[in-house]
Amino acid sequence: MKEFNWSKYSKPLILVAFVVILSILRPKAFLSLNNFSNVLWSVSVIGIMVCGTIFVFLIGGIDLSIATLCAFTAVVVVEITHLLGDTPVAVCVGVVAALAVGALAGAVHGLIITTFHIPAFLVTFATQSIFLGLAMVLTNNKIVSCTVPAFTAIGAMKILGFPLPVYFMLVMAVISWFILRKTVYGRYVYAVGGNSMASAISGIHVKGVSIGCYVLSGLTTALGGIVLASMTQQASSSTGSGYTNDVITAGVIGGVSLLGGEGTVPGAIFGAVLMGLLNNGLNLMSVPSTHAGLVKGLVIIVAVAFDAMQHADQSKKKARKVKKRGESV
Amino acid sequence: MKRLSQTAMRRLISIGMLLVLVALFTILAGFGQGKFFSSANLIEVVRDASVPAIIGVGVTFVIITSGIDLSTGSAMALVGMTMANIYEYTLLPFKVMVLIGILVGLACGLFNGIVIAKLHVPEFIGTLATMSIYRALTYIIAIKDANGVIKSQPMTHSQYVWLGTGVGKFYYVIMAMIVIVLIGQIVLKYTRYGTNLYSVGASRKAATLSGINVEMTQLIAYVITGFTVAVGAVFTTARLQSATTAIGTDFEFNPIAAAVVGGVALSGGSGDVIGTTIGALFMATLENGVRKLDMNTSYQYVIKGIIIIAVVIFDATYKARMDKKAKEQGAKEGLE
């Protein structure tokens, strides 16, 4: 008899259970079209970022600077737009500059981490402080607002009823899924994450592959920063605070292993959707944001522990099967 | 000439880095009354380093098992707020209040240990989760004024105020640090449990095969961290003479950074408590020195980040050279 494979369906089931619970508890507020697009909004920023940071997780790295790099790039795009006279062209230049800053930051991370073999944890912990300082320098430690129509359109324009950031998220997801699944580079990323020594011996340029991962992470963080600034029509050194934890959590809930080598883009997007729903649900239940951490933390522990237990179960089963086969032979 | 052992060299390097930093700030931020290099300010630095060093003892144990604890800052706030509640709403004596605070710290550590050792949640994500749980609990039990707004709770119990002082300038918190660090170092180097910590960190599989109870070793390390967190929280609230919900915000990276600067490898299996203490002194010197530069806070963040990166790069290059040397030495001896 074929056993029902729980692990395959557990994630969609968690999501469905969540939606059902919220629809029962807050039917009017939760099931409205307006709320639906609210959820998509908050999901999309986490989703955009996790599409790039998943590369860093896959090679066994981590990025603690997500939130402050997000703030720094948001400040860059807004300041440049103001500097060049608030025209649509200025917005374009600002966006390109912010993306360049993100990519550059990623490249610096990658270079330092791979050249000196320093844990990513430490390097990004230090740069987190640097980005925060730079964002404060650029804004003079104030909130800079930006209501240029061409800029606010990035976050607010709707196509076919969905806000633009949702499309950004989908495009980013498809791109990073494609890179990971269909290109040689993607294979290399998994190989380096699985065992970097073995990959180096089999001829993979581990350093180049790793730096590429950090650049991709920087790029999507910058895109997230731009979208966030556009949605809130402002930027400051506290833009995106809390996103480091949300993005890492989204990845881990989606089955990405922080030890590297394990995880998929659809999984990470699932994690982002769950985090977005969780944020939205807690909001609708009027749980104050200071108390929401209790629920969020417990959900993370339960989800990850559930996953870990299944992993352990499966490997036990596998071992038993192998043993049986050995005996019958 | 007798060669120094690698660990002794490592210790000298961290002390050297600390001295270089002190010299650097003495040049940049000046010496004399009210400046960086004055007896009053240097004692202040040691006092600032004490709480991270105390909590660093537990964190070092955890990192040696190749774990990490990101929840120390939030757990500190929870311990502080629990004691504030007892102070405000009950007539329990001071000693009982502190005892309950310590018990809360132990409970936080035990919960971390269960999540990580028994439920097998990865350390980073598990303690990230408990970090938000403890912070939320702190807000939930926070003391509110008549309008329901959270207020900072002053705690001016005479014995509590006493705890924040010392014998002259020799603060009690510094004494507590010295005692706890010494006990930590002895446990680590001269007990069965300390050896087990290193084995678990070096190779979990090998440790299991040689009969060490890996789960229990890990769990106890987290409980010990909970205890040190509680001690840290008692001294922090005694110094502030109040408890707020913001205590320990962004604190969690402090003891970790101290451990790493002091030569504890995040990959586990190496390092010791004395190293972490030197690291804590280094971080406190950095904080204090940058503040004494009389610069805009925004530049302080940038400089702090750059110095940490510089130190870590220096450390990594040095370690790579030593490894290479050791290999060459080994090859030579092999040839002979």
- The residue in chain A having the minimum alpha-carbon distance to the alpha carbon of residue B245 is A290
pLDDT score, position A142: 87
* Within-domain flag for B333: no
Choose among B122, B302, B316: nearest Cβ to A258: B122
Taking residue B322's Cβ as centre, other Cβ atoms within 10 Å add up to 14
In the block, residue with structure tokens 């630095």: B45
* Within-domain flag for A20: no
- The residue in chain B having the minimum alpha-carbon distance to the alpha carbon of residue A248 is B125
Structure tokens that stand for A22 in this block: 């919220």
Measured in angstroms, the CA of B316 and the nearest CA of chain A are apart by 6
| B118-176: pLDDT as tens digits | 998 888 889 999 999 999 999 999 888 777 778 777 887 777 788 888 887 788 999 99
d(CA B254, CA B277): 11
- The residue in chain A having the minimum alpha-carbon distance to the alpha carbon of residue B118 is A305
Coil, strand, or helix at residue B170?
Answer: strand
> Are A232 and A240 spatial neighbours (Cβ–Cβ below 8 Å)?
no
* Within-domain flag for A196: yes
Domain that holds residue A221: 49-270
* Within-domain flag for B288: yes
Is the pLDDT at A156 greater than 90? The verdict is no
Coil, strand, or helix at residue B210?
Answer: coil
| Mean pLDDT in residue range A262-270 | 90
Q: Does A301 touch chain B (CB under 8 A)?
A: yes
Measured in angstroms, the CA of A249 and the nearest CA of chain B are apart by 7
Structure tokens that stand for A178 in this block: 């494609």
Choose among A132, A137, A297: nearest Cβ to B129: A297
| Mean pLDDT in residue range A136-140 | 89
CATH of the domain at B118: 1.10.3470
* Within-domain flag for B200: yes
Q: How many whole angstroms from its chain centre is CA A177?
A: 14
* Within-domain flag for A259: yes
Q: How much of chain A exceeds pLDDT 70, in percent?
A: 92
Q: Which of A177-181, A255-259, B239-243 holds the top average pLDDT?
A: A177-181
Is the pLDDT at A311 greater than 80? The verdict is no
Whole-Å CA distances, B197 to A240, B120, B268, B280:
38, 18, 9, 21
Say yes or no for a CB contact (<8 Å) between A125 and B257.
yes
Say yes or no for a CB contact (<8 Å) between A125 and B320.
no
* Within-domain flag for A317: no
Instruction: Report the candidate in B331, B326, B253 with the shortest Cα–Cα distance to residue B10.
Output: B326
Measured in angstroms, the CA of B307 and the nearest CA of chain A are apart by 8
Domain that holds residue B81: 48-321
Structure tokens that stand for B34 in this block: 């009210």
| Mean pLDDT in residue range A205-219 | 94
d(CA A127, CA B306): 8
Q: Does A287 touch chain B (CB under 8 A)?
A: no
Choose among B122, B266, B305: nearest Cβ to A129: B305
Helices first, then strands: H and E counts in chain B: 13, 4
pLDDT score, position A109: 95
> Where do runs of H (alpha helix) occur along chain A?
6-25, 27-30, 33-58, 66-83, 88-116, 120-139, 149-156, 164-182, 184-194, 196-201, 206-232, 243-253, 265-284, 289-328
* Within-domain flag for A15: no
| A87-132: pLDDT as tens digits | 889 999 999 999 999 999 999 999 999 998 888 888 998 899 999 9
Give B23's contacts (C-beta < 8 A, 6+ positions apart): none
Give A71's contacts (C-beta < 8 A, 6+ positions apart): A131, A132, A135, A225, A235, A236, A237, A238, A239, A240, A241
Choose among B122, B139, B299: nearest Cβ to A290: B139
pLDDT score, position B1: 43
Instruction: Report the candidate in B22, B12, B213, B257 with the shortest Cα–Cα distance to residue B113.
Output: B213
* Within-domain flag for B166: yes
Q: Does B329 touch chain A (CB under 8 A)?
A: no
Say yes or no for a CB contact (<8 Å) between B297 and A137.
no
Q: Domains in chain A: how many in total?
A: 1
* Within-domain flag for A287: no
> Are A68 and A222 spatial neighbours (Cβ–Cβ below 8 Å)?
no
* Residues of chain B contacting residue A294, judged by C-beta atoms under 8 Å apart: 132-133, 136-137, 140
Q: Domains in chain B: how many in total?
A: 1
| Mean pLDDT in residue range A149-169 | 85
pLDDT averaged over consecutive 10-residue blocks of chain B (336 residues)? 67 86 84 79 91 95 93 95 90 90 97 94 90 93 81 79 81 93 95 94 91 94 97 92 85 88 84 93 89 82 86 82 79 71
* Residues of chain A contacting residue B131, judged by C-beta atoms under 8 Å apart: 297
How many Å is the maximal CA-CA distance in chain B? 82
* Within-domain flag for B178: yes
Say yes or no for a CB contact (<8 Å) between B300 and A258.
no
Preferred mutation among A53, A130, A296, A316 to probe B, highest tally of B CBs within 10 A: A130
Choose among A112, A288, A312: nearest Cβ to B313: A112
Burial of B13 (0-12, 13-18, 19+ CB in 10 A): middle
d(CA A214, CA A66): 11
* Per-residue pLDDT band at A1 (split at 50, 70, 90): very low
Measured in angstroms, the CA of B165 and the nearest CA of chain A are apart by 32
The 3-class SS string of A255-312 reads: CCCCCCCCCCHHHHHHHHHHHHHHHHHHHHCCCCHHHHHHHHHHHHHHHHHHHHHHHH
Written as one letter, the residue type at A303 is A
* Within-domain flag for A329: no
> Are B69 and B127 spatial neighbours (Cβ–Cβ below 8 Å)?
yes
Q: Does B316 touch chain A (CB under 8 A)?
A: yes
Say yes or no for a CB contact (<8 Å) between B135 and A248.
no
* Within-domain flag for A183: yes
Whole-Å CA distances, B275 to A50, B223, B272:
36, 21, 6
* Within-domain flag for B39: no
* Within-domain flag for B62: yes
> Are A256 and A247 spatial neighbours (Cβ–Cβ below 8 Å)?
no
Structure tokens that stand for A98 in this block: 């912010």
* Within-domain flag for B185: yes
* Per-residue pLDDT band at A85 (split at 50, 70, 90): confident
